[in-house]
Amino acid sequence: MEISYRDLMTVLHGMGFGALFMLAFSGAIGVIYAAAAIGPRQPRPRWETAMFRFYLVSMAALAWLTTLSGACIIYPWYRAVPPPGATNLSGYPRALLLSNPLTAGWHDLGMEWKEHIAWFTPIAMTMVAYVFIKYGPQLALHRGMRSAVLTFTAIAFLATAVAGGFGAMLNKVAPVRGGAEFVLYRGP
């Protein structure tokens, strides 16, 4: 059982940072709503507020790690240009997709959308984390602000779902592979 370096990095990008981030979304909605619903009048343990802050800051950090690893590490491998006359395009996912009209849409729609829409998420989640750190339970006193924060969080979820969904499908149709091989397990 072996895995290539590029496969490993793709897994880290998608299943490590990205999937972890997606899993954290329902918690983020709950954290924001719970803190704002209870409000500042009810005394809350300091550790609880600190934990909520850490949760949202971690989500923002995961969003940046996911998009940066995708754009700076995976994407250059995806869009590598094959040498003239190359017939085996397996190491050039973008060229492989565009070489067939039946798969070109995965690039023209999937990757073209994914590469941009993903960036809404770190911007939105940085704002959400900042507002929560600044206001915390006081969000209950700023209902408009709470609504905006929840709206941006929901749209960040949508953006991540689109980017993650297309990322998974693109990697099935034209996998990003290559580099050193790592043996994870040797059978009997």
Partner 1 sequence: MSDPPPLPNGPGGAAILAAGIGSLALGLFAFSGDALPVLGHTLTVWPPTGPLSGVVLATIVVWLAAWLMLARRWSGRDVNLVPINLAAVTMLIAGLLLTFPPFMDLLQGR
* Contact positions vs partner 1 (CB under 8 A): 39-41, 71-72, 75-76, 79, 108-109, 112-113, 115-117, 119-120, 123-124, 126-127, 130-131, 134-135, 138, 141-142, 144-145, 147-149, 151-152, 155, 159
Distance, in Å, from the CA atom of 120 to the CA atom of 158, rounded to the nearest integer, reads: 10
Closest by alpha carbon to 130, among 57, 29, 46?
A: 57
Nearer to partner 1, 2 or 158 (CB): 158
The least CB distance from residue 122 to partner 1, in Å, is 9
Would you state the structure tokens that stand for residue 59, as one six-digit string? 């989500």
For the bound state, the minimum distance from the C-beta of residue 145 to partner 1, rounded and expressed in Å, comes to 5
Nearer to partner 1, 143 or 182 (CB): 143
> Between 79 and 177, whose beta carbon lies closer to partner 1?
79
Instruction: Please identify, using beta-carbon distances, which residue of 28 and 87 lies nearer to partner 1.
Output: 28
Secondary structure (DSSP) of 12-24? IIIIIIIHHHHHH
Count CA atoms closer than 13 A to 157's CA, side-chain side: 14
Instruction: Collect all residues with Cβ–Cβ distance below 8 Å to 104 and sequence separation of at least 6.
Output: 97, 98
Query: Contact, 167 vs 18, CB < 8 A?
Result: yes
Specify whether the CB–CB gap between 95 and 89 falls below 8 A. yes
Please give the single-letter amino acid code of residue 184: L
What is the residue type of 149? V
Nearer to partner 1, 41 or 186 (CB): 41
